[in-house]
Each structure stands twice: as structure tokens, then as C-alpha cells.
Structure 1
Amino acid sequence: MTRSDLVEALAERFAQLTQRDAEQAVKTILDALGDAMARGQRVEIRGFGSFFVNHLPARTGRNPRSGAAVAIPARRVPRFKPGKALREAVDLRPAPAQHGDVPTQSSKKSSSSH
């Protein structure tokens, strides 16, 4: 889903919002999220997840072509950790079977030998 898809979905879901209003709402939310993270703040949206800044220390890397050592400076990178509700919504696997529903190895062998 792109930003414009999100704007369209918001405008369709809430009839009182014009396309321009929905676009402004999405822009405001994303700007606030970006500004908070630029200041190093953590942004938590309950049921969705947390956005935070991870600090990576300076380190020495290698140029893959020449093999020469390269100094990589410290930096801050944005990260996202999904919340439990989002993880469960994304995980489409069926719930684990109950103890009595799982076929045993012996029942598989006996049914395949006939």
C-alpha cells in the first residue's frame, strides 16, 4: 500500500473527509511521526507497534572489492517493532491443533501400509 492508496482508503472509509482532507491527515500523522523520531523519541501506537531510533556505533568494515579497511561512522537508524495484535493479524497460519486432533506417527504408518 502506498501513501496515495492510504489517502484513498481513508477518504472512502470516512465520507465526511474530502480527498484533500484525507491527504492532509495522512501528511500530518507521518510528519509528526518523523519529527518525533528525528528528535530520538519513541512513538508507540497501541495494537499496531512501536517506532524507535536505534543507535549503531562506529565500526570498521571492509571494501568488498579491494579488501581495504573502511571506517564506518556511528549513525542512528529508524526501527519498527510490531505489536502483538499486528503480529497475530499478519500471521495467517491456523491455530495449533488440539492434542486429540494431531495424528501420531503410528497412525500415519498403519494407514499408509494398507
Structure 2
Amino acid sequence: MNKAQLVTAMAQKSELTKKDAQAALTSLQKVITKSLAEGDQVQINGFGTFALSYYPARTGRNPQTGASIEIEGANKAVFKASKALKDVL
């Protein structure tokens, strides 16, 4: 399912127009992105939790030359499904 299909499904399941459903989805994305950028996690009961996970620096290898390279550590967004969502799946 892509974003356009998600907006259509949201509009069909609610009493929102497609334009309002897209605005709601866009605002949800912005709120989650801002919260993660500030280092907070976003927990939606019955759905799951969006959080940051730090991946430390490590040594990798260039596949073309075989030379060792240092890969910087980074924060990555992760999603952990709630028990209710896991039970449905």
C-alpha cells in the first residue's frame, strides 16, 4: 500500500474527504518526525511505538577494493508493534 492508497482507505473508513485524510496523515508524519528528532519516542496504544535506536560505529569493507572503512554510528528510527497489533497479524 502506498501513501495515495492509504489516504483513500482512511477517507473510506472515516467521514473525512481525501483532502482532509491527506492533511491528517501529513500532520501525523510531521509530529512523529519532530518527536523523533527531539529524541522522544511516540507510543500509540494498540498500534506500536516509534523510537530511535543508536547503531554504534563499526568497521566495514569496500566490496570493490577490499579496503577497510570506518562506518559512523547513527541514530535510526525503529518501530515496535504492540501486542494487540501482533495478535491481529
Q: Would you call these one fold, judging by a TM-score over 0.5?
A: yes
Q: How does 1:29-48 map to 2 (within 5 A)?
A: 29-48=28-47
Q: Which has the larger radius of gyration?
A: 1
Moved over 4 A (4+): none
1:75 aligns with 2:74: yes
More strand by share: 2
Specify the SS of the correspondent of 2:40. Answer: coil
Q: How does 1:1-114 map to 2 (within 5 A)?
A: 1-15=1-15, 17-90=16-89
Specify the SS of the correspondent of 2:8. Answer: helix
Q: More relative contact order in 1 or in 2 (CA 8 Å, sep 6+)?
A: 2
Specify the SS of the correspondent of 1:25. Answer: helix
Q: Percent identity?
A: 38
Q: Pairwise CA RMSD of aligned residues?
A: 1.1
Structure 1: runs of 5+ lacking an equivalent:
91-114
Size of the aligned set, in residue pairs, is 89
Using the size of structure 1 for normalisation, the TM-score is 0.72
In structure 2, what residue type is equivalent to 1:85? A
Specify the SS of the correspondent of 1:67. Answer: coil
Specify the SS of the correspondent of 1:10. Answer: helix
Alignment match, 1:95? none
